[in-house]
Chain A
Amino acid sequence: MTHQLPAGYEDIQPYADTWALATFSQRQSQRLASSMEDITAFYQAMMPRFDEVLTHLNRFDLNELPAAEQTLMHMSLSLAQIGPCVALWRAPDQENAFDAERMEAILDD
């Protein structure tokens, strides 16, 4: 599997293929293309593991993450991408907002 998570994260493994995305624009596109049901399911799977995930990842040098940890990092960054959808907008995108695609992310990391 290309998006293998470290051992102990089998519960969130099913979300890896969809949400382990390497760039900001990929994560934004995934968010905008997802239903609120899918976003909520991912959020609810990730949030209870938040402390464990970060405690685990914080043990590594950010620039030398092993492949499985890199996948976990990319999933966490997707959690940041959909965080406001669940906490604030209650939708994949805000109503009546400037088109996200028109805001060019010059640093697409």
Chain B
Amino acid sequence: MDPRPTNLTHKYGMSTEPMPLEPNISANYFEQEREKVFTHSWMNIGRTYDIPNPGDYLVKTIDVLRTSVLIVRGRDHKIRAFHNMCRHRGNKLTAPGIEMGSAKGFSCAFHGWTYDPEGNLVVVPDEAEFFDFDKCDNGLAPIECDTWEGFIFIAKAPKESLQSWLGEFYDRFEGYFDTPDYVRVSYYRAEVNANWKVVLDAFVEAYHAPFLHGGAYPDQLSWEDNRFAHLLGAEMFERHRVLSIEGNPDHDPSPIEKHLLKYSDQVFTLLANPEKSKGLPKGINPTRDDKWAFDINVIFPNFYIASMSVMPLVTYHFWPVAVDRTVWQTEHYMFAAKNAGELLAQQYSKVFARDVQREDLITLENTQSVLASGAFTTMPLSDQEVAVRHGYKVVEEMLR
């Protein structure tokens, strides 16, 4: 008998009916998501290790919140987030294209209003000409900000704390991701012409792997013992979800992969790796199976952490722009390369992952381009696509 979990859709109390396509093509639905989902959600915008020193800052455009966010580490070392908008006439405080930096303060290029790293207004040129004006009442507009596992989260109008929002995830990783030793070695961003859920859905099931990625993964995810890449584990939480994927223990690596694995134990590939699947926090390889290759942890709504047997951390972000446009972002974190062999393995990982993910992204654009054709209005989902179904259910419940 197949030891892999079955009957997941029923187990998590979901209907097995086909799911409507409307949520991926309706501009009205997208506006409701903006108001009822994203406005109240905690979303990750970077790592605490990106801004280690007072004055270090990040800038993140968040289209779905119709804003740009400025995240700054203050002189008291506290991380704060603000709308990146001058209190005076509304100009953005940072120049176009700037995504990170370090500053003693933020000076608006328009009229020279200047804010300190804690968001207080400290300089207003020709201040006496303003009416009933007090600088103390005119600092930057704050946004809720908190950190977890080395990740910085912001929320525009949260209804609960970050800890409560993370729920089941909060203590699951026991600090595994909260270390400066994981260095960002790869970072891609692409604007994809597809709904954010269409993009996310491609990364929360393994059913497509033997087909779409049959060339990239000739034997890793689909082999005699697991032809259709059935899930090793799955848990659907209130909002979030986890999938575990197994790798073929008898994978035959390509010549270059074989060479790289001699010089580095961190390569982006899918491997059962019994040595590295033990002694981990409860949230990493939660099934405790030797065949474990990686976990997919979806932190609702748009953040995704993968921990793999061959590298500690891969993240994805799915940033809605419009009903049919999404900014997709992925980052690889590894231990810093100590020598040429490890650097080469990092480079190969960066190239290989890019090539595989390009197969996903073109498919998603092709999908979106016909979703509104009216030919079909629903999609049947298999039990292996339980996490896809769960995503729609969570959104639907928040819109009600």
Chain A residues close to B by CB (< 8 Å): 24, 28, 47, 50-51, 54, 57-58, 60, 62, 73, 76-77, 79-81, 83-84, 86-89, 94, 96-100, 102-107
Taking the nearest CB of chain B, how far is it from the CB of A43, in angstroms?
8
Chain B interface size range: 35 or more
Asked if B259 is at the interface (CB within 8 A of a chain A CB), the reply is: yes
Partner of A94, one of B185, B263, B347, B359: B359
Asked if B352 is at the interface (CB within 8 A of a chain A CB), the reply is: yes
Q: Find out whether the CB atom of B338 lies under 8 angstroms from the CB atom of A62.
A: yes
Give the residue name and chain of the B residue nearest to A47 (CB).
B255
Whole-angstrom distance between the alpha carbons of A79 and B355 in the complex?
15
Chain B residues close to A by CB (< 8 Å): 184-192, 215-216, 218, 254-257, 259, 262-263, 337-341, 343-344, 347-348, 350-352, 354-355, 357-362, 365
Given contacts A47-B256, A50-B259, A54-B341, contact A80 B184 (CB under 8 A): no
Q: Find out whether the CB atom of B256 lies under 8 angstroms from the CB atom of A79.
A: yes
Give the residue name and chain of the A residue nearest to B345 (CB).
A80
Task: List chain A residues, Cβ under 8 A from B340.
Answer: 54, 57-58, 60, 62, 73, 76
Q: Find out whether the CB atom of B359 lies under 8 angstroms from the CB atom of A80.
A: no
Give the residue name and chain of the B residue nearest to A101 (CB).
B190
Q: Find out whether the CB atom of A88 lies under 8 angstroms from the CB atom of B184.
A: no
Give the residue name and chain of the B residue nearest to A89 (CB).
B215
Task: List chain A residues, Cβ under 8 A from B352.
Answer: 83-84
Whole-angstrom distance between the alpha carbons of A82 and B185 in the complex?
19
Give the residue name and chain of the A residue nearest to B338 (CB).
A62
Partner of A89, one of B259, B337, B355: B355
Given contacts A73-B340, A96-B362, contact A84 B351 (CB under 8 A): yes
Q: Find out whether the CB atom of B351 lies under 8 angstroms from the CB atom of A80.
A: yes
Q: Find out whether the CB atom of B187 lies under 8 angstroms from the CB atom of A105.
A: yes
Whole-angstrom distance between the alpha carbons of A103 and B262 in the complex?
30
Taking the nearest CB of chain B, how far is it from the CB of A12, in angstroms?
15
